[in-house]
Chain A
């Protein structure tokens, strides 16, 4: 069973400090939904408001259509996987997993059986009698998932559960979690500061900045059609050129920047108007070498650094006006390297760039 989760104008305040501001959204039952944002932006706080450990200062949390006000964490149909897992070190693996059944007074044999089933599900068969500290990081991770699933929650809440794992394992666990979610058929609410995790696993992503939700979309939309300067700079690499919108023709804005006149698509969800302070964003992979003078979106720059990553060359360039540009060139097998110090001409098409209202950018 899966339930949908609704936040209605949820605020969380600690004294004068606003950790979550006006969060309103609906997460569908069975959805894999992620909150993505830099550390300290209020993700954990929001998750605690959903699980019942933190009362919202204002607003309502509804799970399965029911207002959760006054319902404690032990009464909600949610299970939380903590950032540090919080497995019980003094219990064996199977006791950890079946704790939710022990609470309900289920007999030992049945608990054992259920624990074994869940160990199968998370691909740890036969490890039930070990103690928690005998497991590796990835195994502990799976035990935490199994322990939460044992409570048969309708909504599983995961607080950066992969952050303690090494890269390889993290990538493996992404796939694994997605598979587990589909098998269990319940709502997953996943918190992360790692855009890769959010993009690969989620049906939809809410990008957060300092307690505010900037955008809620699926992964491709967040990446291709960011709605705020913060989202554009936080999700994926992006080059940015601040300037002023001089005119808009058929959804293409002309923006005066230090690097010259740049043309970019106007976001339909959050359009700028003529005269606005704005920023043009271009992805490194959208920038091309140019063989001649183009009419617009033409840049000249000097190579300052380059990095080879197999399928991509990553170049860092400096324009004459001092802007730094990142560029990724697909390695087609016989591409020439660009020597550091050489001057090159670049361009990009207006459709591949987006102009957004000036706003806070993500810290590098």
Chain B
């Protein structure tokens, strides 16, 4: 570390070095560490602000697990053994985020492979453009457009009905199809580009060598391309999973009336509930769970954290 510091100072000069180190430190501390510490602090506090502002800073204003306890068991007069609504929504959110991630992986891996290894010049550029340009449309607009697309009177129903595939319209919004499609679509670029990046650096000769030795396309992917792409797949999946689990707008707009995303509950605590401590506790549980989950999955698939950055 000291050696690195000396090298860094020698390379960039004192003034520039101090500026760069200062800027990075400021970024890390002000933008990342401090806000999360505030949230952590909040999550262990009573909500005196709302209940009884006069008790703020008084002897009762101490650290407490009450918010975490509430997430697990609900209010004291909850007849159930645990907080059925919140815990169910929590796990459903995680499972749904996993599903969205897998869906995106299945969708994006072939696209990324095609872009990186098959498409040439103009065709590849055109495809990249047609992937990127739709994201000029802002998130809200896109979400509402999906509502129209998937609604009971929507385009998809109209097509399926006129083709005779359906006899009566299906409410894709109620069935959460619209939500999954919306979330899945929202993050495809985050899945495609990391995979593309890695697969692009795969020597074409490796694919041809495997083929020459008799391998089918499936085996070539299973044994050569997929293992090689693992770092890209991991970073893609991590981002999509984290962002899906933490998404708010899409579930608000595209979620069926009966389905709640965990972020919506968090949002309610912060907003309508005016209970920041509880919202913080919920958010922190979500964040920690997601991080642990990702680490566990990486461990299972033997991916090291350092590989993601590549």
Q: Can you report 8 residue pairs joining A to B where beta carbons are below 8 Å apart? A: A53-B208, A53-B212, A82-B205, A82-B209, A84-B203, A86-B203, A99-B213, A99-B223
Other contacts beyond A86-B208, A147-B213: 5, CB < 8 A: A79-B213, A88-B206, A88-B209, A99-B210, A104-B214
B216 at the interface (CB under 8 A from A): yes
A78, chain B: closest CB distance, angstroms: 8
> A74 to B211, alpha carbons, bound, how many Å?
5
Q: Which residues of B contact A86 (CB under 8 A)?
A: 203, 205-206, 208-209
Q: Which of B213, B216, B227 has the most CB of A within 10 A?
A: B213
Contact B215 A103 (CB under 8 A): yes
Q: Which residues of B contact A187 (CB under 8 A)?
A: none
A14, chain B: closest CB distance, angstroms: 12
Residue of A nearest to B205 (CB): A86
Size bracket, chain A contacts: 20 to 34
Q: Which residues of B contact A80 (CB under 8 A)?
A: 208-209, 212
The chain B residues found within 8 Å of chain A, CB to CB, are 203, 205-206, 208-216, 219, 223-224, 227-228
Q: Which residues of A contact B206 (CB under 8 A)?
A: 86, 88
Given contacts A84-B203, A90-B227, A90-B228, contact A74 B209 (CB under 8 A): no
A73 at the interface (CB under 8 A from B): yes
Given contacts A88-B224, A90-B227, contact A100 B214 (CB under 8 A): yes
Contact B219 A103 (CB under 8 A): yes
> A90 to B214, alpha carbons, bound, how many Å?
19
Q: Which residues of A contact B228 (CB under 8 A)?
A: 90
User: Which of A51, A53, A84, A151 lies in contact with B214, CB distance below 8 A?
Assistant: A151
> A101 to B50, alpha carbons, bound, how many Å?
71
> A144 to B216, alpha carbons, bound, how many Å?
20
> A73 to B228, alpha carbons, bound, how many Å?
22
Q: Which residues of B contact A51 (CB under 8 A)?
A: 212
Contact B210 A73 (CB under 8 A): no
Residue of B nearest to A76 (CB): B212
Contact B203 A74 (CB under 8 A): no
A72 at the interface (CB under 8 A from B): yes
Residue of A nearest to B217 (CB): A74
User: Which of B212, B216, B219, B227 lies in contact with A79, CB distance below 8 A?
Assistant: B212
B221, chain A: closest CB distance, angstroms: 13
Q: Which of B203, B209, B215 has the most CB of A within 10 A?
A: B209
Contact B216 A74 (CB under 8 A): yes
A274, chain B: closest CB distance, angstroms: 52
The 7 residue pairs across chains A and B that have the minimum distance between CB atoms: A86-B205, A86-B209, A100-B213, A103-B214, A82-B205, A74-B214, A90-B227
Q: Which residues of B contact A72 (CB under 8 A)?
A: 211
User: Hey, what's the 0/1 contact readout for A67-102 against B, CB within 8 Å counting as 1?
Assistant: 000001111001110111011101100000001101
Contact B213 A151 (CB under 8 A): yes
Q: Which residues of A contact B214 (CB under 8 A)?
A: 74-75, 100, 103-104, 151
> A88 to B212, alpha carbons, bound, how many Å?
13
Q: Which residues of B contact A100 (CB under 8 A)?
A: 213-214
A155, chain B: closest CB distance, angstroms: 12
Residue of A nearest to B215 (CB): A103
Contact B205 A84 (CB under 8 A): yes
Q: Which residues of B contact A78 (CB under 8 A)?
A: 212
Residue of A nearest to B208 (CB): A53
> A86 to B212, alpha carbons, bound, how many Å?
11
Q: Which of A79, A86, A148 has the most CB of B within 10 A?
A: A86
